[in-house]
């Protein structure tokens, strides 16, 4: 009887020990996965800097539920982001730049900065174009990223470049990093098999000139810049700047 009890005790102890070892291995792998989640991932608008965000995020998923486009998802074990934190993949579903920014309003911890009131000021990342695979930069007409950009003529502009073998110019998209929000709409719409435009980490990608360089020609242009005149209206129709003054003036 005592021998049987001892045998059962040892069996249970072995089972408990094996369970503890398995749990220890699981948590060890989980911690290792969390530590290794150092790659750049796209966070919701207003996300704090990486370390601050991961410390503040409670992994509640309320921002995911608040997104009307199902853009956001919580990272799983296989994903690059820290497990349980919100992120998005623009080639699948980009950020559609909701004007009321519901994901920020839903965040209960401040991991998404509540001071972000204007979605155009969001800094989720910055778009970067691969000139060697971009159709426009290879001389074909495309400009889809430019047309789909929610900040057209601000975040992405079109420049004319001369051709080497022809007098005709070709048109290429150029990203303005200080205006780009990193929404990823350009990535979704890019027609190449692998997108020729992607959202990258601005801290790793963008350079900095330094204060000891002086760009005199830019300073001169900025000094001469004239603020854009507001649009005028007459009988419900918009007129170009100065148009109302012209209409009201007496003809000779």
Name residue, tokens 């420049």: 159
> Which pLDDT value is given to residue 119?
98
Task: Please spell the DSSP secondary structure of the chain, one letter per residue.
Answer: -HHHHHHHHHHHHHHHHHHHHHHHHHHHHHHHHHHH--S--BPPTTBPPHHHHHHH-----HHHHH-TT---EE--TTSSSPTT-EEB-TTTS-----TT-HHHHH-SSSSB-TT---GGG--S-EEEE-TTT-TTTTT----HHHHH-TTBTTTEEEEEEE-SS-SSEEEEEEE-TTT-----HHHHH--SSS-SEEEE-HHHH-----TT---HHHHHHHHH--PPPPPEEETTEEE-TTHHHHHHSPP-
Determine the average pLDDT of the residues in 153-176.
85
> Which pLDDT value is given to residue 30?
44
Residue 234 has pLDDT above 70, yes or no: no
CATH assignment, 39-122: 3.30.70.20
CB 202 within 8 A of CB 192: no
CATH 3.30.70.20 positions along the chain are 39-122, 125-207
CATH for 125-207, options being 3.30.300.30, 3.30.70.20, 3.40.630.30, 3.50.50.60: 3.30.70.20
pTM as predicted: 0.71
Determine the average pLDDT of the residues in 218-237.
61
pLDDT band with cut points at 50, 70 and 90 for residue 249: very low
Determine the average pLDDT of the residues in 236-241.
53
Name the residue with higher pLDDT: 39 or 221.
Answer: 39
């Amino acid at each position: 009887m005592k021998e049987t009890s001892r045998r059962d005790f040892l069996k249970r102890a072995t089972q408990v020990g094996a369970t503890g070892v398995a749990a220890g291995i699981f948590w060890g792998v989980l911690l290792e996965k969390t530590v290794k989640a150092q790659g750049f991932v796209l966070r919701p608008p207003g996300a704090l800097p990486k370390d601050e965000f991961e410390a503040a995020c409670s992994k509640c998923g309320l921002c995911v539920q608040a997104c009307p486009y199902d853009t956001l998802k919580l990272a799983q074990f296989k994903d690059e982001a820290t497990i349980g934190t919100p992120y998005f993949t623009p080639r699948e579903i980009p950020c559609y730049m909701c004007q009321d920014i519901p994901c920020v309003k839903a965040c209960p911890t401040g991991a998404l900065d509540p001071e972000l009131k204007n979605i155009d000021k969001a800094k989720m990342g910055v778009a970067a174009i691969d000139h060697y695979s971009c159709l426009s930069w290879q001389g074909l007409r495309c400009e889809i990223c430019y047309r789909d950009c929610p900040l057209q003529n601000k975040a992405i502009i079109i420049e004319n470049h001369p051709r080497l073998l022809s007098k005709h110019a070709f048109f290429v998209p150029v990203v303005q990093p200080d205006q780009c929000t990193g929404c990823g709409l350009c990535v979704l719409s890019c027609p190449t098999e692998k997108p020729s435009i992607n959202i990258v980490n601005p801290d790793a990608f963008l350079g900095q000139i330094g204060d000891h360089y002086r760009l005199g020609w830019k300073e001169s242009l900025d000094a001469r810049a004239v603020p854009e005149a507001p649009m005028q209206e007459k009988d419900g129709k918009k007129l170009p700047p100065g148009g109302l003054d012209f209409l009201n003036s007496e003809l000779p």
